[in-house]
Structure 1
Amino acid sequence: MWHAVTRRPLRTFNSVLNEHIDAALSALKPADPTVYGRAESFVSSLGPWSRVHIEDLAGHRSFVANDEWPLELSFAFARAGAKLRILTEEIAVGGDSLAGQRAGQRLLRRLAKEADVNIDRYQAIEDLFFPPGAADSAGAFALMHAVELPLDGGSLLHKAYLNPEAAGESAGPTISAAMDRLGLAAAWAHVERAMAALSLPPRAREACIVALDLSSDPEARVKVYLRHSQTTASDIDSISSVAKNYIPGAFEEILHSTFGPSTESLKKAPMTALSFVPGHDCPTSATLYCPLYPNLPNDAAARDVLVPLLARSDIAADALEEVLRTVGGPTPGQGRRISWFGYKRPEDPVVTVYAGLRDPHQ
Structure 2
Amino acid sequence: MTGSSLFDHLARQLTGLCEVAQTRSDEPLHLLGDLLGPTGARPLSAPPAWPSNVADDHTPVEFSIACNAGEPPTLRILGEALGSPPDAMSNQTAAYRFLSARPSRSGISLSRLTAVEGLFATDRPLGDYTLWHSLVFRSGRQPEFKVYLNPEVRGIQRAPDLVAEALRRLGLGGAYRSIFDHAVRPGELGRRDRLTFFAVDLHDGPHARVKVYLTHHDASTTDVARAAGAVDGIDAEDVASFCTAAGGGRRHFGGLPLVGSYTFTSETKKPVGYSVYVPIRGYVNDDQEARERVAPLLARYGFDSALLDRAIAAVTDRPLRDGVGLIAHVSLRLGPPRPGVTVYLSAEAYQVSPPRGGRLDATPGRMNAAADRAAV
Contact 1:112 1:119 in 2 (8 A): no
Q: Aligned partner of 2:34: which letter?
A: S
Q: Which residue of 2 aligns with 1:292?
A: 280
1:44-55 mapped onto 2 (5 Å cutoff): 44-46=33-35, 47-55=37-45
**How high is the TM-score relative to the length of structure 2?**
0.85
Matched, 1:339 2:313: no
1:317-328 mapped onto 2 (5 Å cutoff): 317-328=305-316
Paired residues, what number? 346
Matched, 1:60 2:50: yes
Segments of 5+ residues of structure 1 without an aligned counterpart are 1-7
Aligned-pair CA distance for 1:317: 1.8
Question: Structure 2: how far apart are the matches of 1:140 and 1:291?
Answer: 18
The one of 152, 155, 160 equivalent to 1:165 is 152
Contact 1:275 1:285 in 2 (8 A): yes
1:86-134 CA distance string (max 9 Å, x none): 1110112323211111111111111255734211111111110013xx2
Aligned-pair CA distance for 1:323: 1.6
The one of 221, 224, 245 equivalent to 1:257 is 245
1:99-248 mapped onto 2 (5 Å cutoff): 99-111=90-102, 113=104, 115-131=106-122, 134=123, 136-150=124-138, 152-168=139-155, 170-195=158-183, 199=186, 201-202=188-189, 203-248=191-236
Q: Which residue of 2 aligns with 1:20?
A: 13
Aligned-pair CA distance for 1:355: 1.0
**How high is the TM-score relative to the length of structure 1?**
0.88
Q: Which residue of 2 aligns with 1:76?
A: 66
1:32-84 CA distance string (max 9 Å, x none): 5xx21121221232222223334555352111122221011111112322011
The one of 74, 79, 82 equivalent to 1:91 is 82
Q: Aligned partner of 1:199: which letter?
A: P
Aligned-pair CA distance for 1:85: 0.5
Contact 1:68 1:360 in 2 (8 A): no
Contact 2:106 2:142 in 1 (8 A): no
Question: Structure 1: how far apart are the matches of 2:134 and 2:227?
Answer: 26
Q: Aligned partner of 1:37: which letter?
A: D
Aligned-pair CA distance for 1:177: 0.8
Aligned-pair CA distance for 1:235: 1.2
Aligned-pair CA distance for 1:10: 4.9
Question: Structure 1: how far apart are the matches of 2:233 and 2:198?
Answer: 20
1:109-167 CA distance string (max 9 Å, x none): 11255734211111111110013xx2x321011110011111x2123211101111123
* Matched position secondary structure for 1:111: coil
More helix by share: 1
* Matched position secondary structure for 1:173: helix
Question: Structure 2: how far apart are the matches of 1:313 and 1:55?
Answer: 41
Q: Compare 313-322 and 112-121 and name the one that shifted more.
A: 112-121
Contact 2:130 2:149 in 1 (8 A): yes
Q: Compare 82-91 and 340-349 and name the one that shifted more.
A: 340-349
Note closer, same or farther for the CA distance 1:345–1:178 as it changes in structure 2 (3 Å cut).
same
Matched, 1:37 2:26: yes
1:200-249 CA distance string (max 9 Å, x none): 63345321111111111121001111101111111111111111341130
Q: Which residue of 2 aligns with 1:3?
A: none
Question: Structure 1: how far apart are the matches of 2:223 and 2:280?
Answer: 20
Contact 1:245 1:345 in 2 (8 A): no
Pairwise CA RMSD? 2.2
Question: Structure 1: how far apart are the matches of 2:205 and 2:172?
Answer: 16
